Amino acid sequence: MPNYLIAIINKMGVYNYLKSNQLSVFLSVLVFFPSARLLVVGSGHAAGLDLVFGLIPELLFVLILVWSLTRFLQDPDRQTHLLDKLVIAYFLFNILIGVYLAHDLKASLYGFRLTYLPMLGYFVCSYYWDKEADLERIFRGFFRILVLIAVIGLIIYFIFPEIHLYFHRIASGNQPIVMAFKGFIRMTSILWTPVVFAMLMLAGFIYWTYRYLKTGNNFALVFSLIMVNAVFLSVSRGPMITSAVAFVLLLFLGKRNQLKWIISGIILFEIAILTLFEKQFIPLMKWVFVSSKQTATLETSNTRVSLWTDVIHSIKHDPMGLGLGKAGHTAVQLFPPNTPGVSFASTDGWYFKLMIETGIPALVLYLAMALIFFVAMIKYISKNRFDFVTVIFTIFVVTGLVNIVSNVLDFYLFAYLYWFLLGIFVFKLKQNGNARKESFGSHS
């Protein structure tokens, strides 16, 4: 870029803003991208310029990666943590083994784009360029955008439902809109998929509940309530149930009892109002818990359980996996039905999808890595800290739970947020000097 253009951009303050808020800006673009893609490209396979347009999220992320790599190479004081080494080992194992097993470069590239490209966001944050950064501020703008997305969703849902119907027809090829329960349409806002929307709203609920318990700010309370209602209206069972887990965790970790009583009282009051005046509320909640119980008890009549049975059979036949891109949503998108050596059933359980793609060793590696992250976060939080790491920890826990029943880490938007946050946690350890003090790593 010519120097005079850089000078103009600097004078306007745009460059400094983008430099300091690049991750929030990137994630915010991703939130609005599904609607733009449907309007420009539609739901079918893209080619030519449409393909380039569809790759905008990846192209933007590559720019962030290049920027981060440049700063990394210029940093004489960079530290490498044990968790950095575990993540790169897990990443390389899955890529190398997955490509070797797949014997299909196109499928492997699609699988990498879906699942493993977002993982590189971990290193963007673990080696963050600003050593004095306020880590919460890096993502605060994005969590504000999530409030906007929830409000837009409420407006579409209650005032302009025809917009939802219009985009659903584009996305599904004029198929009838899916009802979750007795005509209960699932809220999606401008993401047009309820599960991705629910996971983002759950992350927002966790953040704004933390902010309220931390500061007592009334806007944070309002935002928290908006987000939890958005989770409920998505009728996505995993996020709905784990939102209760997240809330209990935050109440347990928070310090200000008066604020805990206030937010708990408001939520209980709303539940009471819905129970008394909304006829569908009790049947809906009964359906959520009954269907969830069927899943938990592995009842064969449950659709998800029948899919798991097929996956387990495939794993027994191929315990080292089928290869990268030959399982989950990538397989459904790329291969005709009943293609041999492909798992079409592994779309409702990320651990199953991981195992059938790159084998039982991949699952063991992930669970070991997750356990070490969990222990490190517990050690951090146990030192009487109630800061942004609490948000990361809570999102980490609920993601692990929802992964049982849904391929959460294949939701490209949420996956970027998840790996960014894990990287930020390790960067926080480095900020505090824990890379040496806790014997988790060393200077590189």
pLDDT, tens digit, 9 for 90 and up, residues 318-338:
899 999 999 988 888 889 888
433: phi > 0 → left, psi -120 to 50 → alpha, else beta; which? Answer: left
pLDDT exceeds 70 at position 174:
no
The rounded distance, in Å, linking the Cα atoms of 4 and 331 is 48
More confident residue, 130 or 373: 373
The number of CA neighbours under 13 Å toward the Cβ of 213 is 28
Asked if residues 365 and 88 have their Cβ atoms less than 8 Å apart, the reply is no
Q: Which of 28-37, 234-243, 291-300 has the lowest mean pLDDT?
A: 291-300
Residue-wise pLDDT for 394-442, tens only, equals 999 999 999 999 999 998 789 999 999 999 999 999 988 754 444 333 3
The number of CA neighbours under 13 Å toward the Cβ of 434 is 17
Residue-wise pLDDT for 91-123, tens only, equals 999 999 999 999 999 999 999 999 999 999 999
Which amino acid is residue 289, in one-letter code? F
Instruction: Determine the pLDDT at residue 179.
Output: 61
Burial of 152 per CB tally in 10 Å (0-12, 13-18, 19+):
middle
pLDDT exceeds 80 at position 170:
yes
Mean pLDDT of 214-227: 97
Instruction: Determine the pLDDT at residue 152.
Output: 97
R_g (Cα) of the chain, nearest Å: 22
Mean pLDDT of 344-357: 89
SS3 100: helix
The rounded distance, in Å, linking the Cα atoms of 247 and 232 is 14
Decide: pTM greater than 0.85.
yes
The rounded distance, in Å, linking the Cα atoms of 397 and 384 is 19
Long-range contacts of 33-38 (CB under 8 A, 24+ apart): 33/57, 34/190, 34/191, 34/192, 34/193, 35/167, 35/190, 35/192, 38/167, 38/170, 38/171, 38/192
DSSP H/E element including 443: strand 441-443
The rounded distance, in Å, linking the Cα atoms of 393 and 250 is 10
Residues sharing a CB contact under 8 Å with residue 351, sequence separation 6 or more, in sequence order: 363, 366, 403, 404
Q: Are strands 184-185 and 79-81 parallel, antiparallel or unpaired?
A: unpaired
SS3 288: helix
pLDDT averaged over every residue in the chain: 88
Instruction: Determine the pLDDT at residue 25.
Output: 93
The rounded distance, in Å, linking the Cα atoms of 36 and 34 is 5
Q: What are the percentages of helix, strand and coil residues in the chain, rounded to 5?
A: 75, 5, 25
DSSP H/E element including 110: helix 105-111
Q: How many CB atoms lie within 10 A of CB 222?
A: 14
Q: Are strands 179-181 and 184-185 parallel, antiparallel or unpaired?
A: antiparallel
Mean pLDDT of 337-346: 85
Residue 49: both structure tokens together:
């310029």
Instruction: Determine the pLDDT at residue 51.
Output: 76
Residue-wise pLDDT for 197-206, tens only, equals 999 999 999 9
The rounded distance, in Å, linking the Cα atoms of 73 and 131 is 14
pLDDT exceeds 70 at position 9:
no
SS3 317: helix
Instruction: Determine the pLDDT at residue 440.
Output: 37
Residue 65: both structure tokens together:
């990666």
Instruction: Determine the pLDDT at residue 176.
Output: 61
Q: Which of 2-6, 53-57, 401-405 has the lowest mean pLDDT?
A: 2-6
The rounded distance, in Å, linking the Cα atoms of 327 and 317 is 14
Backbone angles phi, psi at 47, to 5 degrees: -145, 160
47 — pLDDT class (breaks 50, 70, 90): low
The rounded distance, in Å, linking the Cα atoms of 98 and 112 is 9
The number of CA neighbours under 13 Å toward the Cβ of 249 is 22
